[in-house]
Amino acid sequence: MPCLWFDHQAEEAVNQYISIFKDGKINSIVRYGDAGPGPKGSVMTIAFELAGQQFVALNGGPIFKFTEAISLAIDCKNQAEVDELWEKLSEGGSKSQCGWLKDKYGLSWQVVPSAVIEMVQDPDPEKNARFMAAMFKMQKLDIAVLKAACEG
């Protein structure tokens, strides 16, 4: 179960994530008590679920920050799902290359259509080269453009 370390925004972030993912839900919240180190009554951890994956969000303070060394990959069924998740997750954050983005909390996401997995695994080296060339020019992945590139 991945644990996501936030400074103090765990509750805000989890509420945003579960509003974006239709099946998202909070399973439990643990609050700091008298022993701290956070203010008594403030959120320490939130156990939550997105797309069947369990997570824990921790308000651990400003010691650690997210980096691109870890990202959450989303398997999207179609372009509409890619478009919706790309816009919602990147709001207030930053968009990068090849379907990667950072949300406003600094967490990296990969918004990837299932069709891309099939294309990248195509054994034809020419198709694969065209696919890769097209993908490296994109921020948000476009299934139709990528398919057209594969077909030449």
The CATH number linked to 40 is 3.30.720.100
Strands (E), the chain: 3-6, 25-31, 43-50, 53-59, 71-76, 94-95, 100-102, 108-113
Look at the chain and count its residues. 152
- Write the pLDDT tens digit of every residue in 68-108: 999 999 999 999 999 999 999 999 999 999 999 999 999 99
Asked if 71 and 140 sit in the same domain, the reply is yes
pLDDT of residue 117: 87
Q: What is the CATH number of the domain that holds 102?
A: 3.10.180.10
Task: Give the position of tokens 């156990």.
Answer: 47
Query: Which of 31, 62, 93 delimits the end of a domain?
Result: 62
Query: What tens digit of pLDDT does each residue of 134-148 get?
Result: 999 999 999 999 999
Q: Domain containing 142: what range?
A: 66-152
**Do 77 and 27 belong together in one domain?**
no
